[in-house]
Amino acid sequence: TNTRSQAERWFRALLETRPDWLGAIAIHHGSLGRPLRAEVERRLRAGDLRAVVCTSSLDLGVDFTPVERVVQIGSPKGVARTLQRAGRSGHQPGATSRLLGVPTHALELVEFAAARDAITAADMETRPPLDRPLDVLVQHLVTIAAGEPFDPDAMRDEVRATHAYHRLTDEEWSWALDFLTRGGAALTAYPEYARLTLDDGRMAVSSERLTRRHRMTIGTITGASAMNVRFVRGKRLGSIEEAFINRLRPGDTFVMAGRVLRLERVRDMTAYVTRARGRAAVVPRWMGGRSPLSSRLAAAIRTRLEEARRGVYRDELETVRPLLELQAAWSRIPAPDELLIERTRSRHGHHTFVFSFAGRLANEGLATLVAYRLGQRSPRSLSVTANDYGFELLGREPLEVSEEEWRALFTPDTLVDDLLACLNATELARRRFRDIARVAGLVFPGFPGQGKTTRQLQASSDLFYDVFREYDPGNQLLSQARREVLERELEVSRLRETLELLTEQRIVPIETPRLTPLAFPLWADRMRAQMISSERWRDRVERMAAQLERAAATTTGAKR
């Protein structure tokens, strides 16, 4: 599965459907305790399990030769990711890797077919390398000094020999040493931030106490603060995000490790639970869920859709043919050089759907950017929704925009300035700085068994952020936070490429009498964001789907 929540749901669903498989199937994801995961891995290696419902946590450098087939639930959203997951089966010389794709909605059939085309053509995504992460550099220098004092000049040359730091400037290197020896311009008065000292031309950790604390915080993987989950009288099950537990009250039930658990109490960053009966329970949602569509897979999808537009339906697309033909009947299937813009009206207002096929993150940035630029021209209230295929703008009044105006809205000029203006850039950078502060060693998460809460850690990192902004605005960690917000959270490079492509495409605006197959998922995503109850959302979506099915039957009947 693509997410830990999805793994929990599928494991429970399999057991409810086939209770005789109890003990023959297992669950594995990164938030489960190490002993539980190790036991699943041991049984999988021994061939004792019929199936394991897992995330990519089971892919991390472990070979399981008994695995005959990988069943991928939902599109993996990338070509290389598809190939890597397929490789977990038949993992031995001469064996064949087999992957069965199980789409969670009809259009994912197109994604699976496109992924196979791209794999056959060896058209894989590239991984952009890290560019001078100074928080990691600061941590690395303390780690080296904790082992043995180092010569600054020799260490600088060694660091620059790596690709990530080959563009490291003398100014950045000097800043890192100054930050470690005196805390930079803002923290000079606090001796605990003078972590390194220069003695006989070599850098060393200033005290044994700092060395001990540093060794407890080595690592660059950050995430939401997690609570341990433990039986009241028994073993540890794993970890779960503090924000999720804080929404529960004692007596509430939730699902973890395939079990229905009842929350009894929370104490010292540990949630104590007991087994519960019944099926109704909340499934936790961990951070890091929905991956965006990669640019390579998006291009392969456009190629497959172009075949469908010309009436060519190969392999899986024959199954989804009725849906694509309905899209063509109610609107059109966009060609690779076309930008389809659908407009329709409902009781919620006037909808404008723009299908860029740029991936979720880029479409989120694109939707926010377009809404901001529209608002700059004339004040209006718009709600935005985005998915991998496009974005929706919803307002009370119809959006009357000419082709020339659309092109002006998509101009890459002033992209960064407009993004920073329409988003709360300061808050985004502050949030990114929290992780940077932890990696750089500014924030101590606490001793084992005495971890600090999310609120305490955020308060500490936010204080550093505010102090640096006021008294040390040239602090390189602030610059890194701003840079990472643009590249990682806003995907500004991909967004710029998307805007340049959109300005070259032929804009095709179409008025549709109802939601089309491409627009329906965007409508459903917006409804999910507005509704508290998942049951209410499901009922609403099913009613709309039934209404569209009836309209589709009328359309296909008239077509015949």
With 0-12 / 13-18 / 19 or more C-beta atoms within 10 angstroms meaning exposed / middle / buried, residue 235 is: exposed
Token representation of residue 261: 């658990």
Provide the pLDDT for residue 553: 83
Tens of pLDDT along the chain (560 residues) come to 888 888 998 999 999 999 999 999 999 988 888 888 889 988 988 888 999 999 887 864 456 678 888 999 998 889 998 998 888 888 778 888 899 999 988 889 999 999 999 999 999 988 888 889 999 999 999 999 999 999 999 999 999 999 999 999 999 999 999 999 999 889 988 888 899 999 889 999 988 988 988 988 888 876 656 678 899 988 888 888 776 777 677 888 888 887 888 889 888 778 899 988 765 556 666 655 567 788 899 999 999 999 999 999 998 899 999 999 999 999 999 999 999 999 999 888 899 999 999 988 889 889 989 999 998 888 888 888 999 999 999 988 888 899 999 999 999 999 988 888 877 667 778 878 988 998 999 987 766 666 666 666 767 888 999 999 999 999 999 999 988 888 877 788 889 999 999 999 999 999 999 999 999 999 988 887 765 455 677 788 888 888 888 888 887 654 53
How many C-beta atoms surround the C-beta of residue 62 within 10 A? 12
In order, the DSSP letters of 185-236 are TTSTT-GGG--EEEETTEEEES-HHHHHHHHHS------S-EEEEEETTS-E
**Beta strands 196-199 and 202-205, pairing class:** antiparallel
Q: Is 510 helix (H, G, I), strand (E, B) or coil?
A: strand
CA distances from 316 to 111, 309, 518 (A): 10, 15, 18
Is the dihedral angle over the CA atoms 352, 354, 360, 363 positive or is it negative?
negative
Give the domains, in start order, of the chain with CATH numbers.
4-120 (3.40.50.300), 134-219+424-489 (no CATH), 226-275 (no CATH), 331-422+491-559 (3.30.1360)
71 φ, ψ (degrees, to nearest 5): -105, 110
Work out the number of other CB atoms within 10 angstroms of the CB of residue 374.
19
Q: What is the pLDDT of residue 560?
A: 37
Give phi and psi for 94, each to the nearest 5.
85, -10
The whole-number pLDDT of residue 383 equals: 87
Q: What is the pLDDT of residue 508?
A: 96
Find the radius of gyration of the CA atoms of the chain: 26
pLDDT at 289: 54
What's the pLDDT score for residue 369?
92
45 Cβ neighbours under 8 A, 6+ residues apart: 64, 65, 66
Q: Side-chain half-sphere of 69: how many Cα atoms within 13 Å?
A: 9
Count of CA atoms in the C-beta half-sphere (13 A) of 434: 18
Buried b (16+ CB within 10 A) or exposed e, 172-193: bbebbbebbbbbbebbeeeeeb
Q: Please tell me the predicted confidence (pLDDT) of residue 517.
A: 94
Asked if 440 and 138 touch (Cβ cutoff 8 Å), the reply is yes
Q: State residue 62's pLDDT score.
A: 54
User: Which residues lie closer than 8 Å to 444 by C-beta, 6 or more apart?
Assistant: 213, 217, 452
Q: List the one residue out of 359, 474, 489 whose CA is nearest residue 423.
A: 489
Query: Max CA-CA distance within the chain?
Result: 89
Token pair 């640019």 is at which residue?
Answer: 295
* pLDDT value at residue 3: 85
Q: What is the dihedral of CA 320, 322, 327, 333, to 10 degrees?
A: 60
